[in-house]
Amino acid sequence: MTIDLPNPHFTRHALIGALMLGLSTAQADAATSTIGRTWPIAEPDAMAEIEARVARAPDMAAQFGPRSTWSAMRAATLAPARATRVRTLVPFYTVEEEIRLPDGRLLYPKGFTFNPLDYVSLPQRLVIVHPRDLGWALAKARFTDFILLTAGDAIALSEKTGRPLFILEERVKERLGLTLAPVIVAQEGMKLVLTEYAPPLSMGRSARP
């Protein structure tokens, strides 16, 4: 007696086809059918949980007063720029205390001076403005730039504009030698370039950001 075996190549393709058809059918059935026992989801909805925690959070304004009185929200002040000018700065830093390795060897002595830009880079620019010039800053700033305010409520203005805004800290002002605003700080090589802008400022002026 002779038995005709199916073509192995055909059989393999047939099995794969049947398997894919079965998966498709199972998916279709799963969309319309319930198989086995079901239980309600025990975990709370994530968004509902977040909203509940926010509602239970203490009122910061009631405890510490309005944000305008918070020392952490107090920005460093700058005078308004009267003329457009460009100046450069090498942000040298002097080590105030000696720095030693874990084994006690001296790495940098006290008084050692170096340029941080020799080791790190500033990937974004700093756009520093008075609140009245915020519209100009929003038009000039690139997506990666940081906008720093010399006054005002940065949190409220961030919510209003939809753009993260920050206050100008006193240490940043001193570190960069800032005196006037609006000013854009950018790195060029091993130095910083500070471009100060004189009024009138407009979103349509020809100067490139």
Report which DSSP code applies to 185.
E
What is the mean pLDDT for each group of 10 consecutive residues in the chain (209 residues)?
47 47 47 61 70 71 58 80 93 90 90 89 92 93 94 89 93 92 95 91 48
Question: Distance (Å, rounded) from C-alpha 75 to C-alpha 131?
Answer: 11
Q: In the prediction, which pLDDT does 19 show?
A: 45
Q: Which of 176, 71, 78, 69 is nearest to 129 (CA)?
A: 78
Residue 76's identity, in one-letter code, is A
* Pairing assessment for the beta strands 113-114 and 106-108 based on DSSP bridges: unpaired
Q: In the prediction, which pLDDT does 79 show?
A: 93
Cβ atoms of 93 and 114 closer than 8 Å: yes
Question: Distance (Å, rounded) from C-alpha 164 to C-alpha 151?
Answer: 15
Q: In the prediction, which pLDDT does 11 show?
A: 47
Q: In the prediction, which pLDDT does 160 show?
A: 92
Q: Residue 180 forms beta bridges with which residues?
A: 79
Cβ atoms of 118 and 170 closer than 8 Å: no
What b/e sequence results for 51-68 when a residue is b if at least 16 CB atoms lie within 10 Å of its CB, and e otherwise? eeeeeeeeeeeeeeeeee
Cβ atoms of 201 and 136 closer than 8 Å: yes
Q: In the prediction, which pLDDT does 78 show?
A: 93
Hey, is 192 helix, strand or coil? strand
Q: In the prediction, which pLDDT does 18 show?
A: 47
- Listed in sequence order, the DSSP H helices in 33-161 are 46-56, 60-64, 134-140, 154-161
The tokens 């305010």 sit on which residue? 149
Q: Which of 126, 124, 114, 108 is nearest to 190 (CA)?
A: 114
